[in-house]
Amino acid sequence: MKNTIKITKMQGCGNDFVIVDYAEFEKTGMEMPEFAKKICNRNFGVGADGLIIPKTDTKDTDIGWYFYNSDGSTAQMCGNGMRCFAKYVYEKGLVDKKQFSVQTLAGTIKPEVLDNGLVQVDMGIPVLEDEKIPFKGERKLQALDRTFDITPISMGNPHCVIFTDENPMDLALKYGPVIEKHPYFPEKTNTEFVKVISKNEIEMRVFERGCGITLACGTGACASQVACILNNLTESKVKVNLLGGSVFVEWQGSKENPKENIFLTGPADYSFVADYIL
């Protein structure tokens, strides 16, 4: 019989992830990027937007993670993935408190498992400086037959936010793949198409860097809310309607005072636990 490893499948608003403990991953004998591409494949693997492996040997935080997109690339942060990760490591006993610190490539992130089953994540301070996003261009971007007004932001990973009165999914499907690799974004970008419903509610569709169209993007929801406030479109707390569900994002910052932490609150649910045949 072939070797097997224990895996857990989770999702946050339909943004789905395979979580594998490090000891189980070691049994594969594979490099992490290779394993991510294999297990995230929806035809020949489990199928997921990303792979998460807890990292328990961190020094300055309670825990850390390895995070890979479905194409094997790394991502500095993932809001939906962080909520799933937080619930997983808390309920498995890898951390012994509901609020804790996580080492990521975007710095230290602090999630909290709430009593109502939701998870709130302190996503840190959004990055608006072009060189740190990184972004090298103008606030107008040409893609195929259109010129878009854009708001570039980093939530540990680069985002290009575009406001529209059109169907945001149609735009994400057509222009997302082009903008992802636009020369304005030297490390590629996630692209959010946002329709403002009211001062307290928005609709967002996303083309994620390294994943394509996904049902949800936590960092994208945060970037969208920051862009809304910078453009005087919403209040400090909004409901963000995603393809796979809704999250709440709160930012007390402003164009004049951007150094405020942003908070993302939403669901994190188990799909299944299984033995995966190598």
Active site residues: 78, 217
In this structure, what are the phi and psi dihedrals at residue 242, rounded to the nearest 5 degrees? -105, 170
Do residues 9 and 18 make contact, with C-beta atoms less than 8 angstroms apart?
A: yes
Report the residue count for the chain. 278
27 Ramachandran zone, left/alpha/beta (phi>0; psi -120 to 50): alpha
Helices 218-230, 79-91: inter-axial angle, 10-degree rounding: 130
Nearest to 105 by CA among 61, 135, 70, 137: 61
Do strands 15-19 and 245-251 pair parallel, antiparallel, or not at all (unpaired)? unpaired
Q: Which residues contact 256 (CB under 8 A, 6 or more apart)?
A: none
Q: Are strands 237-242 and 146-149 parallel, antiparallel or unpaired?
A: unpaired
Q: Are 66 and 36 in contact (CB under 8 A)?
A: no
